[in-house]
């Protein structure tokens, strides 16, 4: 861990003389790093997960999330006995709910993990405790949980309840956990204040106070903003393809305008957030969200567009060479320089080509194995492929030696511009 970050965590430790005990429900991509940071700043943390193997791995020091600083922070918290993983919740002062909210077939949010987590803490919950929901949720969820708690005997203001969405970016998670501003929305102003007080234990950014519904919508609105903006770039890339114009040059030129900032077009939009969260609003208010839905559709269409282009290149190769080409896919993660495959458009593209009978090999520098695909080291994937499809701009590709003349090269992530 860098000197600056160490100093930051030390200074945070001194802010709170009587640190609360924290029970974190969900030890995934957000819950686990949060538990490590809280343990590291001196709080007693019990992390709870329903997966026994995950709990055992954490307690043995095997951590699966690869993020800068995380291993170090985990080791410090764990060695000092401040973070232990368990299968069942323990009494605590603060309960953080950081479980997944996937969507169901109708695109409505599946809140079952949140409710299971809430129900699992009921036996240890006591008057004066604070519950904070961090999981992405449709507007109104926190208020509904308040009603649920009331129906279980925790009515009135016996429990404080607040919503505080996480905003960290995979790849820079620990830094953003500490540095980012946070939106904190209690179901009462007193609950907001209590939650703000808690976050002061480790957040260096501003703590912005609001109500729970506004905080819930803010989380969705932030990811929708990004989805819509990426959709615009993806649509422009398809327009450029039709017109024979280089989209990256176009964007470079347009972004010199002081009020224009196109994001990067890619092979689609993945990850567990931006490709999912907009649906939580679209499914609740379909009449009011036509632009948001269109953006989602365009980002999904970009995946199909890429598949269509690769198939066209494969057919052309067969026509000219008299044999099926080997298609090398570069990058399978949902974005550059991470090992996360969730909702990855690149992986979906490679698998679709494979399932349609094309000879597909792949390279993913951040993953060792993928069931359906044969993974090759980067340069071998270049040497063995007839059609090279660049899907994710991993930094390794910047140093590739690509014999441009003998290969068909399709770049959907702008990496070759950087070579």
Active site (catalytic) residues = 219, 273
Nearer to ligand SAJ, 124 or 370 (CB): 370
Shortest Å distance, C-beta 158 to ligand SAJ: 31
**In the complex, minimum distance from the CB of residue 9 to ligand SAJ, in angstroms, rounded to a whole number:** 21
Copy the structure tokens of residue 256.
């010199």
Work out how close the CB of 390 gets to ligand SAJ at its nearest, in angstroms, rounded to a whole number.
13
Identify residues 118-177 at the interface with ligand SAJ (CB under 6 A): 166-170
Nearer residue to ligand SAJ within complex by CB, 47 or 165: 165
Other CB atoms within 10 A of residue 418 CB: 11
Alpha helices in 60-123 (DSSP H): 70-79, 112-121
Q: Could you say whether residue 278 binds ligand SAJ (CB under 6 A)?
A: no
- What residue is closest to ligand SAJ based on CB? 273
| 182 counts as binding ligand SAJ under rule CB under 6 A | no
Question: Is the CB of 134 or the CB of 386 nearer to ligand SAJ?
Answer: 134
- Residue 39, number of CB atoms within 10 A of its CB: 26
- Structure token pair of residue 275: 């490709």
By beta-carbon proximity to ligand SAJ, the closer residue of 137 and 223 is 223
The C-alpha R_g of the chain, in whole angstroms, comes to 24
The reply on whether position 42 binds ligand SAJ by CB under 6 A is no
* Binding segment toward ligand SAJ, per CB under 6 A, in 15-23, 247-255, 270-278, 289-297: 270-278
Beta strand 207-211 with 359-363 is unpaired
CB count within 10 Å of CB 178 equals 19
* DSSP one-letter string for 285-326: -GGG-HHHHHHHHHHHHHHHHHHHHHHHHHHHHHHHHSSPPE
Angle value at C-alpha 127, between 123 and 129, nearest 5 degrees: 85
Tokens of 25: 């429900």
CB atoms within 10 A of CB 332: 27
Which of 169, 239 has the CB closer to ligand SAJ? 169
Separation between Cα atoms, residue 127 and residue 9, nearest integer Å: 30
Number of residues binding to ligand SAJ, judged by CB under 6 A: 19
Q: C-beta of 263: minimal distance to ligand SAJ in Å?
A: 3
CA 274, CA 268: separation in Å to the nearest integer? 11
To ligand SAJ, the closest distance from the beta carbon of 253 in angstroms equals: 17
Contact between 269 and 299 under an 8 Å Cβ cutoff? The reply is yes
| CB closer to ligand SAJ out of 154 and 280 | 280
Cα(253)–Cα(111) distance, integer angstroms: 44
Question: Cβ distance 45 to 38 under 8 Å?
Answer: yes
> Which among 15-23, 113-121, 218-226, 287-295 is the span making contact with ligand SAJ, rule CB under 6 A?
218-226
Q: Which tokens sit at 304? A: 């199909």
> By CB under 6 A, what part of segment 308-337 binds ligand SAJ?
334-335
Task: Kindly state whether residue 271 participates in binding ligand SAJ, applying the rule CB under 6 A.
Answer: yes
The answer to whether 343 touches 275, Cβ cutoff 8 Å, is yes
The dihedral of CA 313, 318, 321, 326: what is its sign?
A: positive
Q: Which of 50, 207, 263, 300 binds ligand SAJ (CB under 6 A)?
A: 263
Q: Cβ of residue 138: shortest distance to ligand SAJ, in angstroms?
A: 14
Contacting ligand SAJ (CB under 6 A), which of 42, 266, 278, 325?
266
179 is a contact residue toward ligand SAJ (CB under 6 A): no
Q: Which is nearer to ligand SAJ, 190 or 254 (CB)?
A: 254
Interface positions with ligand SAJ (CB under 6 A): 166-170, 222-223, 226, 230, 263-264, 266, 269-271, 273-274, 334-335
């Amino acid at each position: 861990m860098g000197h600056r970050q160490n100093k930051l965590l030390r200074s945070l430790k001194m802010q709170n003389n009587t640190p609360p005990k924290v029970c974190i429900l969900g030890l995934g991509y957000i819950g686990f790093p949060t538990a490590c940071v809280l343990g590291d700043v001196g709080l007693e943390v019990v992390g709870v997960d329903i997966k026994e193997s995950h709990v055992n791995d954490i307690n043995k020091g095997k951590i699966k999330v690869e993020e800068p600083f995380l291993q170090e922070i985990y080791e410090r918290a764990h060695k000092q006995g401040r973070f232990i993983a368990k299968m069942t919740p323990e009494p605590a002062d603060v309960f953080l709910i950081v479980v997944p909210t996937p969507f169901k077939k109708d695109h409505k949010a599946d809140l079952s993990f949140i409710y299971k987590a809430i129900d699992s803490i009921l036996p240890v919950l006591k008057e004066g405790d604070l519950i904070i929901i961090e999981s992405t949720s449709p507007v109104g969820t926190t208020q509904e949980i308040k009603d649920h708690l009331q129906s279980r005997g925790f009515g009135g203001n016996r429990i404080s309840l607040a919503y505080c969405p996480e905003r960290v970016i995979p790849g820079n998670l620990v830094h953003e956990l500490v540095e980012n501003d946070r939106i904190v929305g209690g179901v009462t102003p007193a609950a907001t204040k209590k939650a703000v007080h808690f976050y002061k234990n480790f957040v260096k950014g501003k703590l912005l106070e609001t109500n729970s519904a506004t905080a819930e919508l803010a989380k969705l609105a932030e990811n929708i903003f990004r989805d819509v903006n990426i959709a615009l770039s993806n649509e422009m890339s398809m327009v450029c393809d039709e017109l024979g114009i280089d989209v990256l040059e176009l964007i470079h030129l347009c972004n010199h305008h002081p009020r224009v900032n196109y994001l990067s077009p890619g092979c689609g939009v993945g990850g567990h957030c931006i490709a999912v969260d907009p649906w939580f609003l679209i499914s609740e208010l379909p009449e009011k969200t036509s632009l948001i839905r269109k953006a989602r559709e365009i980002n999904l269409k970009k995946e199909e567009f890429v598949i269509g282009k690769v198939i066209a290149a494969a057919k052309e190769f067969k026509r000219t060479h008299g044999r099926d080409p080997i298609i090398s896919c570069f990058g399978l993660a949902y974005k550059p320089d991470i090992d996360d495959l969730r909702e990855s458009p690149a992986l979906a593209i490679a698998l679709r080509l494979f399932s349609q009978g094309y000879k597909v090999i792949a390279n993913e520098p951040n993953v060792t194995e993928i069931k359906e695909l044969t993974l090759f080291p980067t340069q071998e994937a270049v040497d063995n492929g007839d059609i090279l499809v660049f899907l994710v701009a991993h930094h390794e590709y910047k140093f590739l030696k690509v014999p441009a003349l003998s290969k068909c090269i399709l770049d959907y992530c702008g990496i070759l511009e950087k070579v």
